[in-house]
Structure 1
Amino acid sequence: MRGVTHRITATREDGTVFEVSYGYGPGQRRLLGCRHCDWQERITSGGARHKGLDHLAQAHGALGSPRMTADAAARRQVLLIMLACFAAAALILWWAASQG
């Protein structure tokens, strides 16, 4: 799976941490994929966290400390896009103010 945006994790009683990745696959399909087995599921609308945690609980017995965190690369990309938008808005405001 390419384009991972989030990681869903849960811990088994023995302390082993299991992870499901959420992101985009071929054709910009939203997918969940387990790093520990061959499980993959296409997501059509919402519920990624719930489905990921259900898989971790049923297939791996991981119930503790459930978390869903944004991937660092996805956070950086969002931050850069937001900065570019703010810069463009500031430039437009500056230009509009200088015209009058």
Structure 2
Amino acid sequence: MTHHITATREDGAVFEVSYGYGPGRRRLLGCRHCDWQERISYGGARHKGLDHLAQAHGALGSPRMTADAAARRQVVLVMLAGFAVVALILWWAASQG
């Protein structure tokens, strides 16, 4: 799982649903506090995760969605590679002039 959706209960307890890809590259939501798990086909992960936290655990406050460090690193590396390719193409195009 690469993302975490959290919410707090009135007593301050923090509950979390993990979100990411499971076996067979299926998108999954899974609660760290109970056996709930749901496969999703597109969008709505935040909404479904927060709904579960509210209904099953009474956690309504301070909703957040964060990414793991590995997921952030991968995004940054892909973006840097893309910028490097664009810079190389621009440099090549300018040198042909």
Structure-2-length-normalised TM-score: 0.92
Shift of 1:40: 0.7
**Counterparts in 2 of 1:79-98, with a 5 A limit?**
79-98=76-95
Structure 2 unaligned spans of 5+? none
Indicate yes or no: 2:38 matched with 1:50: no
Alignment of 1:25-64 (within 5 A): 25-64=22-61
TM-fit CA distance, 1:50: 0.8
> Offset at 1:99?
2.2
What is the number of residues matched between the two proteins? 97
Aligned residue type for 2:90: L
Matched, 1:12 2:9: yes
Shift of 1:35: 0.8
Task: State the shift of 1:80 in Å.
Answer: 0.7
Letter in 2 for 1:54: D
Give the TM-score, by structure 1 length.
0.89
RMSD: 1.1
Name whichever of 90-99 and 79-88 sits farther off.
90-99
For the residue of structure 1 that corresponds to 2:15, the secondary structure is: strand
Deviations 1:11-40 (A, max 9, x none): 011111000011000111111011111111
- In structure 1, distance between residues paired with 2:54 and 2:42: 21
**Structure 1 alignment gaps of length 5 or more:** none
- Distance in 2 of aligned mates of 1:39 and 1:67: 19
